[in-house]
Amino acid sequence: MTVKSTKYYRYYTYIEPVIKNPILKTYGYAIFTIVMIGVFMLFAIKPTLETIVLLQKKLTIQQDSLKKIDKKITDLDAAQTNYNKISSDTKSAIVSSLPSNADLANLIKSIELTTKDTDATISALQFQPISIDKKPGSNELKEITFTFNIEGSYGTLKTVLQNIYNGTRLIIIDKLSFNKVSSGNVLLMNVSGKAYYVK
Share of the chain above pLDDT 90, in %: 27
Q: What is the pLDDT of residues 10-59, one digit of tens each?
A: 666 666 666 666 766 677 677 778 888 888 777 777 788 888 889 999 99
The mean of the pLDDT values for the chain is: 83
Alpha-helical (H) ranges within the chain are: 3-19, 22-85, 88-97, 104-113, 154-166
pLDDT band at 73 (very low <50, low <70, confident <90, very high): very high
What are the CA-CA distances from residue 74 to residues 5, 67, 69, 77, 182 (Å)? 85, 10, 9, 5, 62
Which residues touch 114 (CB under 8 Å, ≥6 apart)? 160, 163, 164, 167
Q: What is the pLDDT of residues 118-160, one digit of tens each?
A: 888 888 889 888 776 666 656 788 889 999 999 988 889 999 9
Q: Which amino acid is at 160?
A: V
Q: Which CATH number fits domain 97-198: 3.40.50.970, 3.40.50.1110, 3.40.1410.10, 3.30.70.60?
A: 3.30.70.60
What are the CA-CA distances from residue 24 to residues 17, 34, 184 (Å)? 10, 14, 122
Q: Domain map of the chain by residue range?
A: 1-85, 97-198
With H, G, I as helix, E, B as strand and everything else as coil, classify residue 197. Answer: strand
With H, G, I as helix, E, B as strand and everything else as coil, classify residue 116. Answer: coil
